[in-house]
Amino acid sequence: MRTGRTLPPTAAPVGATAIAAAVGAIFADAPVSTREEEIARYLGHAQAVLLSSGKAALAVVLEALKAGEGTRAVAIPAYTCYSVPAAVVRAGLEPVLVDVDPETFDFDPASLERAFARPDLLAVIPTHLFGIPANIDRVQALRGRRRIAIIEDAAQAFGVAAPGGGRLGARGDAAIFSLGRGKHLSAGGGGLIATRDLELAARVRSMVAGLPTPGLVRRARTALELAIVDLLVQPSVYWLPAGLPFLGIGETDYAPHFNPGGPVAPAVAALEGWSARLERSLAGRLAQSTRYITDCGFVPPGGAARPFLRFPVLLDSAGERTRVLAEARRLGLGVSGMYPTAIHQVPELRDRFREGAWPGADAIQARLVTLPTHAYVDDRDRRAIGALLRARGQSTPAATRSSRTAAVL
């Protein structure tokens, strides 16, 4: 077990003021509608509705869309967070996997067209994975005049600038965001639905009003976890939870049996001063991502620096990835393999997806590592990460290689 300075793969410390506000809200109410109005305005949507998690937000918005429709297929990326298929299943709908292009981390165009050929398509979930903008124009063009909802999964893209102006998550019929640990704007848990569709917003609000209000235990746990996680993500301390596998830090599991809840007061209270905190976090992640490009020569999808939640790098092979991850773990560099499998390989979902192939998602799963972009990464860490990947023959200056042949996306 490694002891000593260890970077977490992702970290979004909230600070003492937010922690104090969260503790104060264990027994009190939090300003839910004020925060919802501020966030809706910031994102460029008419309404924002806070919930207990991003996964809950997705399940609820899908459930709200379902009413009165005979359609039940929901197209999701074949490489994404396990919470996405879990929310689809929880909403009583059928996940349909669309392959992901390893060059863009967005839907594979041909696979997306096949999903649109289904007559029972209810919704499509373009995903801004890591904060890389998904192509919404293409999804809108394929939809044409059909009644298919476009729900942007912006859980990893809170506040990230959109290519055409504004911020990611503002173009679909609705978008979901996560306020979970390690996301751009963390509140120690929570999620939200943003939408311009007032009818949908009203349906969502009436559903949320019917959800159980998080009780005292949940509220106390949220405030306590917020404080503990803020402490544990510090590099001087992170070796401890990282070295204790039974804590399950950073683990991903597929859990479709959950109860969506309304917003948890301490999490909402922790949003105090959220916009300044978010802007600082975005600026830091942009600076860090820019240095990976200029100093280390890594080329992200699309080429441009963005405030990536994690900086994605595709290595040459699965063997390479295994070696890099082991060495990075030994050195405590916060390099992560992201999700343990593509969605069709999730043990509980394998039976659903026996037919079909998602080679792009498989390639990403086999070769992806992500580099930390949070505020705890310093110059020495970055040099060590650069050297580790360079030692594997991965890094040559961006200018000398074509993007087509780039082994490092």
Which stretches of the chain bind ligand PLP, using CB under 6 A?
53-55, 80-81, 83-84, 127, 153, 155-156, 178, 180, 191
Least distance between ligand PLP and beta carbon 50 (Å): 11
249 DSSP assignment: T
Specify the residue for token string 């000398």: 400
> Which is nearer to ligand PLP, 54 or 332 (by Cβ)?
54
Least distance between ligand PLP and beta carbon 34 (Å): 21
> Which is nearer to ligand PLP, 60 or 242 (by Cβ)?
60
Least distance between ligand PLP and beta carbon 125 (Å): 9
Least distance between ligand PLP and beta carbon 48 (Å): 15
> Which is nearer to ligand PLP, 130 or 239 (by Cβ)?
130
Residue 173 to residues 47, 122, 149, 151, 200, Cα–Cα distance (Å): 11, 12, 6, 6, 9
Q: By C-alpha distance, which of 367, 366, 368, 390 is closest to 292?
A: 390
Distance CA 406, CA 348 (A): 35
Provide the token pair at 205: 């609000």
> Which is nearer to ligand PLP, 127 or 281 (by Cβ)?
127
Least distance between ligand PLP and beta carbon 190 (Å): 7
> Which is nearer to ligand PLP, 121 or 175 (by Cβ)?
175
CA-only gyration radius of the chain, Å: 20
> Which is nearer to ligand PLP, 26 or 338 (by Cβ)?
338
Give the SS3 label for residue 373: coil
Least distance between ligand PLP and beta carbon 332 (Å): 23
Contact (CB, 8 A) for 301 and 103: yes
Q: Give the DSSP per-residue string, 98-150.
A: E-B-TTTSSB-HHHHHHHHT-TTEEEE--B-GGGPPP-HHHHHHHHTTS--EE
- HSE, side-chain direction, 13 A CA sphere, residue 409: 24
> Which is nearer to ligand PLP, 81 or 324 (by Cβ)?
81
> If you count DSSP H runs as helices and E runs as strands, how many of each does the chain have, helices first?
14, 9
Least distance between ligand PLP and beta carbon 153 (Å): 5
Contact (CB, 8 A) for 129 and 76: no
The dihedral region occupied by 4, where left means phi > 0, alpha psi between -120 and 50, and beta the remainder, is: left
Q: Strand 121-124: give its sheet, edge to edge.
A: 47-51, 191-195, 174-178, 149-153, 121-124, 73-77, 94-98
Alpha-carbon torsion 258, 168, 188, 20, what sign?
negative
Least distance between ligand PLP and beta carbon 350 (Å): 21
Least distance between ligand PLP and beta carbon 157 (Å): 9
Provide the token pair at 232: 């544990």
Which residues on neighbouring strands pair with residue 368, listed in sequence order? 314
> Which is nearer to ligand PLP, 136 or 331 (by Cβ)?
136
> Which is nearer to ligand PLP, 155 or 168 (by Cβ)?
155
Least distance between ligand PLP and beta carbon 84 (Å): 5
> Which is nearer to ligand PLP, 268 or 407 (by Cβ)?
268
Residue whose CB is nearest to ligand PLP in the complex, by number: 54
